[in-house]
Amino acid sequence: MKALLILIFLFLSVTVSYSQKSNKLTIDTNVICIPNDVARKMLLDLNDYDRLKEVVVTYKNEIYELNNKVMFLQKENTAWSQNDRLNKDLIVEKDKTIEIYKSENESLKKENKRLKTKNGLYMIISAIIITPLTYIAVTK
């Protein structure tokens, strides 16, 4: 039994000392080797990323300018629609005044026709009265 305990103790001490030595491996990051084609692809990707960052800023500026233009056009459209509404109101008012003038013109035409008829009758009646009186005055 003593021999078994000594054997277990010896086995444990060997494994502990071995595991401590194996953990002390350090990797120096300055010595990492990357294949040449992978490094080129990485540089191209980084350059593309930098270019895309610039493009994104440009796109953001363009989007901001387009939003400003859209807001301006909406305001202008609103102004034009209000102007159109006012013009339609003016046209309706002018149509009403034209209708009033037409109705007045029709009534004036009827009145003129009535007065022409009345004047014609007065001329006929006055001719009928004046002709005999003139005849009588001339014959006496």
pLDDT for position 21: 54
pTM over 0.75: no
Which one is predicted more confidently, 25 or 119? 119
- The reply to whether 26 falls in a domain is no
Per residue in 5-23, pLDDT (tens digit) is: 787 776 767 676 655 555 5
Q: What angle do CA 61, 62, 63 make, to 5 degrees?
A: 90
86 three-state secondary structure: helix
- The reply to whether 41 falls in a domain is yes
- The reply to whether 85 falls in a domain is yes
**Tokens 């953990």 sit at which residue?**
23
- The reply to whether 132 falls in a domain is yes
pLDDT for position 72: 94
- The reply to whether 89 falls in a domain is yes
Which range of residues forms the domain containing residue 56? Answer: 35-139
- The reply to whether 5 falls in a domain is no
**Residue 41, both tokens:** 């692809």
For the chain, what is the domain count? Answer: 1
For range 12-35, the mean pLDDT:
63
- The reply to whether 20 falls in a domain is no
Measure the CA–CA gap between 70 and 63, rounded to whole angstroms: 10
pLDDT of 60 over the 70 cut? yes
